[in-house]
Amino acid sequence: MTIILHRRRFISTTCALSSAIALPALAQAPARYPSRPITLVVPFPPGGSVDGAGRAMADRLSKVLGQTVIVDNKAGAGGTIGSTMVAKAAPDGYTLIVTSQTTHVVNPAVSPRLPYDAVNDFAPITLIDRLANVLLINPSLPVKNFAEFVKYVKANPGKLNYASSGNGSVAHLSMELLKAKLGLFITHIPYRGAGPALVDLLSGQVHMTWNNLTSNLNLIQNGRLRALAVASPIRAPQTPDVPTFEELKLPELNLTSWTGIAAPAKTPEPIIAKLYEAMRSILRDPQTQEAWRTRGAMVPEDVKPAEYRQEIQQRIQFYRNIVKTHKIDLE
């Protein structure tokens, strides 16, 4: 009996010691993070604004964190393939995603059978940048400003068209809201991506589109496209003569796009906090701020993880309301 009691005490003591050792090790795990390379998934092909933002941040995160941050383009299905992959990844901080309006706002707003939950399957960290959206026309249209544009469209109902990167895209929903607000009749022509839409806009096959300023800044500055209005808190310094939609009494259209970074849901809070602080230190750097301005992006305000989640939720509801209120056809 004595032997059994001693044995039980030994087992109990051993288990207690094991727990005592394991708990500090678990608590210290984030302090050692990252101990190996991090994969940053970009759910779009190389070369676009989302890819550019991701690569710019990855280079800087590598230096701040002391570990390589590898950009991995997992394109397909409007960002759905890469987003789904990250949603199902291990929540250990070693697989992150560059979030965008497409993957984390518009897709969930218009696609009820999306294979990932943009809110509950991810742990938002913070924004990389904000991007001014811009109403662009082919310069062949005989208008020089927004007022002339509205007058010309109303004088030619049904004769003009606009390109988008696809049904349910930011361009599609924003242009339909513009039409509804001003009573305009413009035909929608959806494309399989912003690239083909831009090609036809430049050639004059279509008359206008809605896109971010960053991707089109050179085309605007060299006169190949004309910007009529920007969705931005203030006038973009790169296009100082172009008014904001707020100035044009269309505040609903004055929403910037953004890119950010998120981790899979259930990633430990200390890891999220470490990534958040790393990104904020990068964005406070004057060299980063100048690099962002050069590519036509805005350095975002300090958006904490909880605030970022709230903005995603609010924008999803905003676009759902647009589709419902204006009966927008997504087929």
Beta bridge partners of 131: 257
Question: What pLDDT, on a 0 to 100 scale, did the predictor assign at position 329?
Answer: 78
Q: Which fold has domain 35-130+257-325?
A: D-Maltodextrin-Binding Protein; domain 2 (3.40.190)
Q: What is the mean pLDDT of each run of 10 residues along the chain (331 residues)?
A: 42 41 41 94 91 96 98 93 98 98 94 94 98 96 97 96 91 95 96 88 97 91 97 92 97 94 98 98 97 90 97 95 87 69
Q: 259, 55 in Cβ contact below 8 A?
A: no
Rounded to an integer, what distance in angstroms lies between the CA atom of residue 328 and that of residue 314?
19
The DSSP element (H or E) to which 42 belongs, if any, is: strand 38-42
Same fold, 35-130+257-325 and 133-253: yes
pLDDT (tens digit, 9 = 90+) per residue, 34-72? Answer: 999 999 999 998 988 899 999 999 999 999 999 999 999
Question: What pLDDT, on a 0 to 100 scale, did the predictor assign at position 30?
Answer: 64
Strand residue runs (E) in 94-218: 95-100, 122-131, 133-137, 161-164, 187-190, 208-212
Contact residues for 279 (Cβ-Cβ < 8 A; gap 6+)? 57, 61, 125, 126, 128, 261
Please give the radius of gyration of the chain, using alpha carbons only, rounded to the nearest integer: 24
CATH architecture of 133-253: 3-Layer(aba) Sandwich (3.40)
Domain positions in the chain: 35-130+257-325, 133-253
pLDDT (tens digit, 9 = 90+) per residue, 225-240? Answer: 999 999 999 999 889 9
